[in-house]
């Protein structure tokens, strides 16, 4: 790469440093492109490229005809531990909130339904369905859909779901999840979901499917849509146990 080709990266680095050190607070308007071009003695196209890079990283957002602004920092979630949304928000020093979108008891008749499959139920079983918009402070962060086997939570609807944690309610029935398996994939938001999350249609999101277990029994099937611009997951990785490593190499398991 020639020296000039990297100039936009230097500009992006300089602005990123100011954002990460919080010298530039969230929602601060950045200087205009011509002002930045003067400041960094670069062409406007180079400045535009630096800003596009920062936007891709989710560090800034732009408002048409107004300019570029510093984005809120991403909410980083540790994947090493099983936590409820409420516990996670409190741990992050944010106020957890919920807005109910849909709730009700459903009879699942389709034998192919993933809800039956993951909860280990037969066709015709009843499940409790809760669809919520989860908030961090006043900001929408996640659209969470959850299904629980009705038989295990007979008093469920007596609780105020707008203010109470679902995992806490599950705990009161003696079935608080103790472990879970989840997958994470990137998706783009449809019009309805984008509106709920205050984003534009087609914006990126992370879709998490989770099956949670209490003492080995499946007690929750959940599909969450996390805002792509506000979410970061962190995982701790250890060296593979020798025995497992040997097995993987000999069986050539793809991981």
**Which residues of the shown chain bind ligand 16G in the complex (CB under 6 A)?**
84-86, 144, 146, 165-168, 182, 208, 210, 220, 222, 224
- Shortest distance, CB of residue 84 to ligand 16G, whole angstroms? 3
Least distance to ligand 16G, CB of residue 123, Å = 24
Closer residue to ligand 16G (CB): 28 or 91: 91
Measured from the CB atom, the residue of 24 and 148 that comes closer to ligand 16G is 148
Name the minimum Å distance from CB 210 to ligand 16G. Answer: 5
Q: Of 60, 91, 64, give the one whose Cα is nearest residue 74.
A: 60
What's the min distance (Å) between Cβ of 125 and ligand 16G? 19
| Residues 210, 144 contacting (CB under 8 angstroms) | no
> Of 68 and 84, which CB lies nearer to ligand 16G in the complex structure?
84
């Amino acid at each position: 790469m020639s020296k000039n080709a990297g100039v936009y990266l230097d500009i992006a680095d300089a602005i990123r440093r100011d954002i990460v050190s919080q010298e530039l607070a969230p929602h601060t308007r950045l200087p205009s492109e011509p002002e930045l071009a003067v400041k960094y003695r670069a062409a406007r196209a180079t400045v535009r490229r630096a800003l596009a890079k920062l936007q891709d990283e989710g560090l800034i957002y732009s408002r048409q005809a107004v300019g570029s602004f510093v984005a809120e920092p991403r909410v980083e979630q540790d994947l090493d531990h099983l936590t409820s949304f409420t516990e996670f928000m409190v741990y992050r020093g944010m106020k957890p909130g919920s807005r109910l979108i849909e709730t009700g008891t459903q009879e699942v008749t389709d034998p192919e339904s993933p809800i039956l499959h993951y909860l280990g139920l037969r066709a015709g079983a009843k499940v409790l369905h809760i669809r919520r918009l989860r908030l961090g402070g006043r900001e929408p962060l996640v659209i969470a859909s959850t299904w629980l086997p009705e038989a295990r939570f007979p008093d469920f609807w007596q609780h105020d779901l707008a203010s109470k944690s679902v995992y806490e309610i599950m705990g009161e029935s003696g079935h608080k999840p103790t472990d879970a398996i989840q997958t994470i994939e990137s998706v783009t938001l449809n019009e309805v979901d984008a509106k709920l999350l205050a984003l534009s249609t087609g914006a990126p999101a992370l879709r998490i499917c989770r099956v949670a277990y209490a003492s080995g029994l499946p007690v929750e099937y959940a599909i969450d849509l996390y805002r792509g611009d506000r979410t970061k997951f962190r995982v701790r990785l250890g060296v593979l146990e020798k025995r497992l490593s040997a097995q993987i190499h000999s069986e050539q398991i793809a991981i």
